[in-house]
Amino acid sequence: ERLFSRLLLDISPVFIVAIGADGKTIMMNRMLLDILEYSEEEVIGKDYLTAFVPAEDHEMVSDVFRKIVGDTSTTLNENRIVSKSGKIYLVEWRGRPVLNPSGELDFFVGIGIDITRGKNRL
């Protein structure tokens, strides 16, 4: 079952990320790692906001995280991410908090798609 779950993550055509309550990256799937040009070892434990979001978007993404914490429904937002080489991608994210048994935030899960090309055509 664990192997099957990992396989689904790795072959998924969407971006999948898990971010801890402390803002540290817990997991990224292969698609997201590839576009960001990182290995799994390089991203685990990194502060998601400072490592993968352009500085000018930090406040907006922080606001999204605060909104997710207070709401257990799925959120929808767009924000940019930046690769190791500096490439910028616009991503449409759906996110949701995962709570621990005591009802406190354990981590966030985000599932995203690259919408960069579509926005550039407009």
pLDDT reported for residue 66: 83
* Average pLDDT estimate for 94-105: 91
Q: Burial of 63 by CB count in 10 Å (0-12 exposed, 13-18 middle, 19+ buried)?
A: exposed
- Domains of the chain are 2-121 (3.30.450.20)
Q: What is the percentage of the chain residues whose pLDDT exceeds 90?
A: 71
Q: What is the mean pLDDT of the chain?
A: 91
Cα of first residue to Cα of last residue in the chain, in angstroms, is: 43
Q: Give tens-digit pLDDT for 12-58.
A: 899 999 999 999 999 999 999 999 999 999 999 999 999 999 999 99
